[in-house]
Amino acid sequence: MKSLTGRGSILDRLIRALGGTGRVRKEVERSGLFASRTQEAAFRKLEAAAPLVTEAHHAPVPVVTHSSTPLALNSPSIVRREAILGRNTRVAGYVFSLVYQANARVQASSVSVQRLYDQVLLRNLQAIGIRRLLEHRLAFIDVSASSLETPVVEEMPAQGTVYLFGANDGLARPHNATLARLRAKGYRIGLRSRGATPMPGLDQLDFLLIDIAAGDLPSIRDQMQAAVARAPKIRFVAANVQTQEEYRACAGLPFSYYQGPFITSREQLDGPVVDAGRARILEVLNALRGDAEVGELAALIKQNLALSYKLLRYINSPGMGLSRTIVAPEPALLVLGRQKLYRWLAILLFTSGKTPGLDWAVMENALVRARLAELLAECTGDLTPGERDELFVAGMFSLLDVVLSAPLDAVLQKVKLPAPVSDALLEREGKYAPYLALAIACEESDDLNIATLAQGIGLDMWRVNSFHLDAMLWAQQIGD
């Protein structure tokens, strides 16, 4: 092992990045990280494609999760979320995992390399505060079956954690005792289905993820019926749902959860059709931008009973910390202030439609995007508080075309926006554009673009990772 522990080697970097002390270093060296030069070479190849960054900022190692973008040589990495919706169309959890391209390399290399990547992912999730998210959401975490016997899998909080294995991982009898122990401690187990191929160990599973692109609906229905016959309490997740049409088709099957890009897919974008509730909100937003007086704003709000009720419920909520109850729009507006009112109305646009559909899920995605952009700008210190408020609105409105099913330029014609917000949304330029672009890139797992954009605003990948989880938690609290 001497050749692996000198000259600032990969092993040195891994041990340091994983918080390794001298004791940990000795344990790793004694255990023999690589059993052969072939395994070492495989890891070096993987490390070149998905490098583990150094401990330059004493931060855990960011890793890549699901991505459609191949990793380039020496590309930085970052944790990314993939939303999972419940049958109520609300976000029920997230998938956290390595990119598919990296997974293929990992699975083709040594068990030691698989375990290392799983440890890096799990310890990063712990370090950025995943426990806070798991109080109200599920975390589906892709790991390899080879990591089942390692201590790190039991270091994650059991509540909300679902360990997700690939169809080729072989969750057979050798793992039964370990799976039973994990489930007894409160962890849950999921498996990615490989079509109609028989799957051993269904009785040890809590979730079965079925890729709906891998078969037609009748064969998927047959697969689900066969699984229920062997494991009556198993719950199904429709995976890789691309469009809202596919989502609606899946709704007729006994799926409990849905995952895929359908949540923010842009389909049937015609002219904007705005119902009365949203029309009133847009009218108040425009009056705010026109510096209308409080009395005029209150009069507009009073014309819509639902809007008045929502305003008073919001201003009297425990989070506002008021010592007395406010019973009229005028004093509510004075307490709230113009900037907070604008932000509240921007959020309300997403959930005030007559046919909500996926509005709540789109809203949470928009909240994460808007809050992440705002946190990034706050960290750099390059924008004033007022400008950060405008940036937040830009983040929210960047998905308004999805919820209104209309082209964004047509939607924005109905609302007065500051020029920098319009520039960021329509032209992708101006002082808000870099922050919004980085927040969007984090959703798309565009690794090279993330690295470039983060560097452009002077932030490292670890900070982006941390802010991303903070934004998710904030959006969850607002949505709930």
331 φ, ψ to 5°?
-65, -30
| Structure tokens that stand for 132 in this block | 């806070």
The answer to whether residues 210 and 196 touch, using CB atoms and an 8 Å cutoff, is no
pLDDT by position in tens, the chain (length 480):
333 333 344 434 433 433 333 443 343 333 444 445 554 554 444 444 333 333 233 343 343 333 333 333 233 356 677 889 998 888 899 988 654 444 455 555 567 777 877 887 888 788 778 888 888 889 999 888 888 888 889 989 999 999 998 766 655 566 788 888 999 999 999 988 866 555 667 788 899 999 988 778 888 898 899 889 888 999 999 998 988 888 888 888 999 999 988 887 765 555 555 667 788 888 898 898 888 999 999 999 988 888 898 899 889 988 888 888 998 999 999 998 988 898 898 888 887 766 566 788 888 899 999 999 999 999 999 999 989 999 999 999 999 888 887 888 888 888 888 899 999 999 999 999 999 999 998 887 666 778 889 889 999 877 888 898 899 888 888 766
Q: What distance in Å separates the CA atoms of residue 184 and residue 186, rounded to the nearest whole number?
A: 5
Q: What is the pLDDT of residue 403?
A: 80
For residue 82, give the H/E element and its range: strand 82-86
Instruction: Give the bridge partners for 207, in sequence order.
Output: 190, 235
Could you tell me the pTM of the whole model?
A: 0.70
What is the CATH T-level fold of the domain 53-264, as seen in this structure? TIM Barrel (3.20.20)
Place of tokens 């229905």: 221
Which pLDDT belongs to residue 412? 87
**pLDDT on residue 51:** 38
Task: Please identify which residue in the block is written with the tokens 């090279």.
Answer: 448
pLDDT tens for 53-90 read 332 333 433 433 333 333 332 333 566 778 899 988 88
Q: Which two tokens stand for residue 64?
A: 């890549």
Amino acid identity, position 185: K
Amino acid at 45: K
Residue 65, classed as helix, strand or coil, is coil
| pLDDT at residue number 172 | 57
What is d(CA 1, CA 6) in angstroms, rounded to the nearest whole number?
9
What is the tens place of the pLDDT at every residue in 206-221?
999 999 887 788 888 9
**Residue in 358, 351, 308, 367 with CA at minimum distance from that of residue 333:** 308
What are the residue ranges spanned by the domains of the chain? Answer: 53-264, 276-351, 359-479
